[in-house]
Amino acid sequence: MAEVQIQEGSVSTSGQSLFYREAVPAQSSSSPGPPVLLLHGIRFSSQNWLDLGTLHKLAAAGHRAVAIDLPGLGRSSAAVAPCPLGEPAPASFLQEVLTSLNMAPAVIISPSLSGMYSLPLVLNSPERVAAYIPIAPICTDKFSALDYGRAQVPALIVYGDGDEQLGEISLRNLKNLPNHQVFCMKGAGHACYLDDPNTWHNGLLEFLSNLK
Active site residues: 112, 163, 190
The strand order across the sheet containing 65-68 reads 4-13, 16-25, 65-68, 36-38, 106-111, 129-135, 155-160, 180-185
Q: What does the alpha-carbon distance between residue 37 and residue 187 come to, in Å, rounded to a whole number?
A: 26
Q: Three-state secondary structure along the chain? A: CCCEEEEEEEEEECCEEEEEEEEEECCCCCCCCCCEEECCCCCCCHHHHHHHCHHHHHHHCCCCEEEECCCCCHHHCCCCCCCCCCCCCCHHHHHHHHHHCCCCCEEEEEEHHHHHHHHHHHHHCHHHEEEEEEECCCCHHHCCHHHHHCCCCCEEEEEECCCCCHHHHHHHHHCCCCCEEEEEECCCCCCHHHHCHHHHHHHHHHHHHCCC
